[in-house]
Amino acid sequence: MGTVESLLGNITNEEVAKEPFPHLTRCGAISPEYYAQLERSFPSNTVVCGDRVPSHGNVAVRMSSAAVFASRQISREWKDFFQYHISEDYWRDLVRVFGQAIRSIYPRLEERLGRPLEDFRVGVRGNSGPADVKLECQFVVNPPGMMMEAIKTPHVDKRQTLIAGLFYLRDHEDDTEGGHLELYRWNRSPRFLPYRMILAKDVTHCATSHYSANQFVCFVNSPSSVHGVSPRHPGSLSRRYINLVAEVPHHLFRLPLISLPAAVGNWNAIREIRRSK
């Protein structure tokens, strides 16, 4: 494996923001020289999407690490980047930065899995075999839409997801507006719709992480980790990023569902959320 810069290099846990939930936003995540190498060799939509042609714009199309390693069209720089960010070394980066927050949110996680976070057995998502945490790294593109569309309304990630990260590679010619990560705080006791979606009126927007070149956003997932993506204006270029995930082999939290009377009373809002899902 060639020289790889970790997205969490030289970061300490003191740099993790606590509100509205533990998260890190790092501008200039890697050196300009290394970023330029990766940006130049970011695969085309044809390589990432293959025959998965989106039926409409702003749909996220992903290419897994397994597909990356199997492809002859992905550069060595990117394969090395992926290899590091699904490795035990990267897991130790995550624990160094987010270990304190993980232990605070999930105080019984280490007891349940029988070892400290630092000693978790690391695997790759999709591979069989025992592992306490499985990592994944994916290319993601949102092909451009012909009209202003919401990409993702407020939600939390899957219940087995412990940590999620987004590394942005915005094209330098992309001048479209929107498509930013938005962070929210609950303004009531949590209640969820199917697929972990949330009524907009139940949360308050409190921070935005802009879709910018060489920016990395990472957070601990929990019922409080409500986030979404702002509507993106029409354009001709795809939104490009790397999705990084750390998952455990069980659900980490409960999802209290919205009551039937409340669902009926909010049916119009729920219908709009379903359209954008």
pTM of the model: 0.94
Give every CB contact of residue 63 below 8 A, 6+ residues apart in sequence: 43, 47, 48, 138, 139, 140
d(CA 198, CA 203): 8
Instruction: Tell me the pLDDT tens digit for each residue of 135-178.
Output: 999 999 988 765 556 678 999 999 999 999 999 999 988 888 88
Domain boundaries, the chain: 13-276
The phi, psi pair for 115, rounded to 5°, reads -165, 160
Range 13-276: architecture per CATH: Sandwich (2.60)
pLDDT of residue 211: 95
Name the pLDDT band for 51 (thresholds 50, 70, 90).
confident
Task: Tell me which DSSP letter residue 215 carries.
Answer: E
* Percent with pLDDT over 90 in the chain: 78
Query: If DSSP codes are grouped into helix, strand and coil, which group holds residue 10?
Result: coil
> How would you classify the pairing of strands 122-124 and 152-155?
unpaired
Sheet containing 203-209: order of strands: 152-155, 227-229, 181-186, 203-209
pLDDT at 55 over 60: no
Instruction: Tell me the pLDDT tens digit for each residue of 83-98.
Output: 999 999 999 999 999 9
Instruction: Tell me the pLDDT tens digit for each residue of 98-140.
Output: 999 999 999 999 999 999 999 999 999 989 889 999 999 999 9
Name the pLDDT band for 235 (thresholds 50, 70, 90).
confident
